[in-house]
Structure 1
Amino acid sequence: MIRPRQVWRMLHIQRVLLKHGLDELVSATHLFRPVAWLRRIPGLGISKAARARPMGVRIREAMVELGPIFVKFGQALSTRRDLLPREIADELAKLQDRVPPFPAEETHRQLAAAYKRPLEELFARFDDEPLAAASIAQVHTACLPDGREAIVKVLRPGVRAQIRRDVDVLHALAGLAERYWSEARRLRPREVVREFDNTLMNELDLMREAANAAQLRRNFEGSPLLYVPEVYWDWCRPGVLVMERIHGINIGQTARLHEAGIDMRRLAANGVEIFFTQVFRHNFFHADMHPGNIFVNPENPAQPQYIAVDFGIVGSLSASDQQYLAESFLAFFKRDYQRVARLHVESGWLAPGTRIDEVESAFRTVCEPIFNKPLKDISFGQFLVRLFTVARQFEMEVQPQLILLEKTLLNVEGLGRELYPDLDLWETAQPILEEWMRERVSGRAIVERLREQLPEVGETIQELPQALHAILQRAAAGKLQVEVKHPGLEPLRAELRAGRRQRWRSSAGGALLIGGVLWLGLQTTPPAAGWALLIAGLALFLLSRPGSSS
């Protein structure tokens, strides 16, 4: 149920939209139509002064007044200049790091509360004028006592309560949607809002952001593609983040990039490579890649290096989601639409009884027009809209765990479009994915995964004698099998038999794998016998997976 305070918040949203002359948005939003009479109340209607200002300015100012969630929505929209009029996109881009700052006195108060020490003892210099101000925090420059230049990120006062208030409204609306909207079962609004809620709450913990930055820095240590600034842990607190100060050209300043002689094609391609490397090789990706968070090191214009900041939102995928996504991307690249359809059914994203040929035909219809074109002629946003149309046709459920990935991919495409419109996103990504897939099935990778699984397999093998002893005891006592005649139990018996076969295969596969590893590790001759044991064990392991043929 929607509580009175949530209704009041929705009324407040409408009042702010009307105040800024955005009555067309109110009229277009079905939830607000029943209270459209508000515009007739004196003081709540649209002023002539509001209407006189450009639309982009009105939208930006309304989002700032409505709070952090609306600012973040505006940031996301600003990266898709292909979907917005340029004057609106330019105004929304100001939300990336030019939100009105809070006073220096409030910054000092929060720092004193966090450190319990005077500011003069913490920093050799602290600059009261913020370097940047965004929806959740603002950043100041400072100098540490040892002379290192740093940035100090401080949460906005009251931001947690503001976000909690608006997310509660989203939870209530999601509940109503699941109750009354026929599409809700497939789109799973509760789970989507829950994912959004978790992401925002994590972003409010600056110690978590520091840990994210440290992990990303380790992943790209020494890489020419991406530089991640160092975290100064001794100065970090849950509401304060202190990091190395970086210097570079903001990626949104394309004129400066051209003046610096940056190879724009290489820069755009590197951005795609960084994205796919994070998602598939590291399984840890920066999920807030709007232009306010990305800079370019101009020292080597022919091989430009990205510099990332703001690590509050990161994502990762399960091993199965990684595998299915990589195979799906590659199948798309090869236009193997039957494989794409089968992967969607096998992954559980489509119902098991879905006809493969119909899904294949639908994917072919959507994808064929986009291939063999440069990025400037492809709108990935429109492509996703058409894919969602296919999804609705086959009742494909939304995967909440993939929302961050989709958002990041849209950001990457938006950046690529600005930097080098002729870049072919698909052509750039395909070799990266193919190399990852080759590494996944290489002998070294298989042996490494076996080495990681040895403790678990060894424990299973140790339990085998005890299990066999128990079975023999039950057989000797005549209690091994109880026959119950009932036709409804036959499917259950078949499932149990399949489970027994899978457990036997898993145990036998484990024993063979251990034997093979030991054979090769002890350099026993002939080595071919060791590889034969490994391959046989791996085959049994694959057969023991759920869904494998019996």
Structure 2
Amino acid sequence: MQKMSRQSKGLSFNRLLKVSGVLLKEYQSFKKFLDLSESEKINSTIPDSFVKTLIQLGPTFIKLGQIISTRPDFIPEEYIHALKVLHDHVPPFTYEEVKRMIEAEFNKDIDRIFRSFDKQPIGAASLSQVHFAVLHDGSQVAVKIQRPHVQKIIQKDLIVLSKLLYVISKVSPKLGRNLNILNAFEQFKAYTMKELDFSLEAKILERFRENFKDWKDVVFPEVYWDYTTSKVLTMQRVSGFRLGEVKSNISAESRKKINKRLIEVEMKMFVTDAFFHADLHPGNIFFRDDGSIAIIDVGMFGELSNEQRDRFLLYWLAVVEKEKIRAFSHLIKMAQKSDSSNEYGFYQRFSEVLDAFYQSDISTRSLTKTYLDIFITGAKFGYIFPGELLLQAKALTTAEALAFTLVPDFQFAQEARPIINRELGHRAEPDEIHRRFKQTFPEWLLLGELPATSIVHSDEEKNKSDNAWVEISKIFAQDLDKRREKENEVRHGEFAVEINESLEKVFNFVTRFAQYPNWHPTYTPNSRVIHVSAKNVFLTPEVVGSVFRLDEIVDGNLLLSNGEIIEFERNKCYKWRAPLSIFLLVDIGTCFTFTDLGNNRTRVHEYFYYIDDPLINFLTYRRWFSKQALVEHIKEELTGVKHIIESKQYNSEDVEYLWENVTEMIRLLTIDDLNEPIKASRPSDFNG
């Protein structure tokens, strides 16, 4: 055992020496490359040699190269181009190894798992390769199999890289800090180890499917969990036209629709979900003649924090509206400063890049490429952006390239703007505003400070946000409709009386709102209410759904309510609900319950309630809306009912059942405050 341990350490040390020597040589070549002229760089074989070296070093370094290719802020464009080979041209492993892996994972012969299995892979990558197969139930699937022994190889190489980078950080601490080497390596390590667990990738695929479950024209493959492990991923086989086949198979009009949908997919990922496919190149997307899109291979994905997502949204809005200072303020808050950071220099160069963007011909203008270029520029001035943002920027550029291929005259910024404005509108939902207000109000109240991200607009700049505010108004309108559906009732004052009269008469008197002004005959400082009138105006046979008009003066405010009956049981329960006329965002109501006490005596209980909502706080602390005031109001109301009934100060029709013989919907037209119908209008009386 000790001998094996010594051998293992010896192999690790030899591997460390080999990797160190090879990478040192490549670093020297890299420095030589940087000294070349632009024309010499184009023809140089140094980047291709670097890629060959990574392939020779094995899967860990191939994966490292793939990650490096997403960081154009660190390496030249020629290296980025050469590293693309690592996505497409990795040598496959043999079918015999595939068969052994599958049979070991499922502990059964491959023929018992699949009816047929293609021996030739359709693609090979650093960690795996993919084969087509058919399950015994006839389902056509794509099977992703992990490379043999790749976990052990990568784990050993990660130890080697960790030691090597530790030495670099000690020998050149300034370089280590400026490039944040150790932190970047830890992220790479965590990302790579997650990628080795295919069951995690399956969950990522399911997450994309969930996010797009309502988009019938966007397809992510279904996972076959019974045939999936940490080393084998079996998923639905999808097909369609490749990007190069689209022009000859799909009409120009259909291509425009597909292209618009593709941008909506990207914006949903980047702006709405903050969870995106980070490698949406032509090999990972299929286009169908019915206008639908199929997306595969979610192994490389990115996820933004809520703050990153929202800053990205604000940054893009500011860039599109030519507000450079606002855009820059959001940009630098997304970056980490190094010891050599130069904010003034970065802003000057940032301003020049945007000016070039604004002045360029609209046909050559690229918002996504400008976004990526600014990240690259930031690194030169000591601003290091998080890997997920670089991944997002590169993914956006790839998506834009796809769109240009589908529709050559496509304008990304123009298509993306209404989507971003709509998303800003969603951020303005009342609940979100309430949350933000609670977060920022204490600082404003005590210190007179606005949030650090706030920038005051000039009058001219305010007009630039008109389109966004149109979307905000739409969201507000939708939210108002949704609030009517809420059911979280809060009781806010109650009282009960016993009346010396039969249950039937008391119930009929109350539900007709008979002599309503006299229920509350005086104005008292306790409840501050004057009853004006109440009229039943629309009856339904079921009673529920019937509507009445209720007029009151409360603390000098005229309250006009169209109350709708929402619960009803004859001689037992009567409950209504209505939007509060002076504050339509809030719904209120009362509920009466009736109990027969025997001996011609009836108990009436009434409680007032509102539908819970953050905005109710604007009312609950008003004196007239306090619980104490509402108790007094109900007490005076029920006491008035008791007095009228017990003193027989009512008309005979006041105690008749209002819905007797109502067999269809009826609208009652009334005179003044009387509940006497002068005409019963039925739906059959009207044409149209």
- TM superposition score normalised by structure 1: 0.66
> What is the aligned partner in structure 2 of residue 411 from structure 1?
398
Matched, 1:439 2:430: no
Q: Which runs of 5+ in 2 are unaligned?
A: 1-11, 35-44, 450-486, 493-576, 587-611, 619-688
Pick the structure with more helix per residue: 1
Name the CA distance, whole Å, in 1 between partners of 2:177 and 2:23: 28
Q: Distance in 2 between matches of 1:310 and 1:32?
A: 34
What are the superposed Cα offsets for residues 265-309 of structure 1, whole Å, 9 maximum, x if unpaired? 554444333222112212221122233322222x23xxx432111
Q: Counterpart of 1:279?
A: 270
With a CA cutoff of 8 Å and minimum separation of 6, indicate the structure with the bigger relative contact order. 1
Which residue of structure 1 lines up, in the alignment, with residue 174 of structure 2?
Answer: 182
For residues 206-248 of structure 1, the C-alpha deviation after alignment (integer angstroms, 9 at most, x for no partner) is 1011111111112112425521111111111110011111112
Partner of 1:204: 196
Alignment of 1:252-401 (within 5 A): 254=244, 256-261=245-250, 263=252, 264-297=255-288, 299-300=289-290, 304-344=291-331, 361-371=348-358, 373-374=361-362, 376=364, 378=366, 384-390=372-378, 392-393=380-381, 395-401=382-388
Deviates more, 1:165-174 or 1:110-119: 165-174
Q: Give the Cα–Cα distance (whole angstroms) in 1 for the partners of residues 173 and 71 of structure 2.
A: 30
Mean alpha-carbon deviation: is it higher for 378-387 or for 192-201? 378-387
The residue aligned with 1:233 is 225
Q: Which residue does the alignment assign to 1:221?
A: 213
Q: What's the TM-score, normalizing by structure 2?
A: 0.54
Which runs of no fewer than 5 residues in structure 1 stay unpaired? 16-24, 34-53, 458-494, 502-515, 539-550
In the aligned structure 2, how far is the partner of 1:171 from the partner of 1:434?
A: 45
Structure 2 CA distance for aligned equivalents of residues 172 and 206 of structure 1: 28
SS in 2 for 1:402: helix
What is the identity, as a one-letter code, of the residue corresponding to 1:279? F
Q: Are 1:248 and 1:307, in contact at CA under 8 Å, matched by a contact in 2? A: yes
> 1:250-276 CA deviation, whole Å, 9 max, x = no partner?
33xx2x221113545554444333222
Kept after mapping to 1: 8 A contact 2:353/2:370: no
- Work out whether residues 274 and 304 of structure 2, in 8 Å CA contact, stay in contact via their aligned partners in 1: yes
Alignment of 1:78-157 (within 5 A): 95-157=86-148
Amino acid at match of 1:316: E
CA displacement at 1:442 relative to structure 2 = 2.2
- Which residue of 218, 234, 241 corresponds with 1:249? 241
Equivalent residues of 2:132, 2:140 under 8 A apart: yes
Q: 1:414 to 1:186 in 2, by over 3 A?
A: farther
1:193 correspondence with 2:181 = no
The alpha-carbon deviation at position 63 of structure 1 amounts to 4.6
> Residues 110 and 14 (structure 1 numbering): CA distance in 2 closer, same or farther, change over 3 Å?
farther
Q: 1:233 to 1:390 in 2, by over 3 A?
A: closer
2:16 corresponding residue in structure 1: 6
Alpha-carbon distance in 2 for matches of 1:537, 1:323: 28
Q: Say whether the 8 Å CA contact 1:142–1:149 is kept in structure 2.
A: yes
1:427 offset after TM fit, Å? 2.0
Counterparts of 2:613 and 2:225, CA distance in 1: 49
Deviates more, 1:173-182 or 1:523-532: 523-532
What corresponds to 2:30 in structure 1?
29
Distance across 1 between alignment mates of 2:174 and 2:257: 46
1:509-549 residue CA offsets vs partner (Å, 9 max, x unmatched): xxxxxxx98679975635618669845969xxxxxxxxxxx
User: Using a 3 Å threshold, how does the CA distance of structure 1 residues 342 and 133 change in structure 2: closer, same or farther?
Assistant: closer
What's the CA shift string for 1:388-444, capped at 9, x where partnerless?
A: 434553x43432443432332243244345444543222222221111010111237
Offset of residue 350 of structure 1: 6.2
Q: Which residue of 2 aligns with 1:160?
A: 151
Kept in 2, the 8 Å contact 1:151–1:243? The answer is yes
Rg (Cα) greater in structure: 2
Question: As a proportion of its length, which structure holds more strand?
Answer: 2
- The offset of 1:8, in angstroms, is 1.7
- Secondary structure (helix, strand or coil) at the match of 1:182 reads helix
Task: Give the length in aligned residue pairs.
Answer: 439
Once residues 66 and 277 of structure 1 are traced to their aligned partners in structure 2, the CA distance between those partners, rounded to angstroms, is 38
RMSD: 4.7
Q: 1:242 to 1:12 in 2, by over 3 A?
A: same
Query: CA 1:360–1:400 in structure 2 vs 1: closer, same or farther (change >3 Å)?
Result: same
Could you tell me which residue of structure 2 aligns to residue 525 of structure 1? 580
**Which residue is equivalent to 1:513?**
none
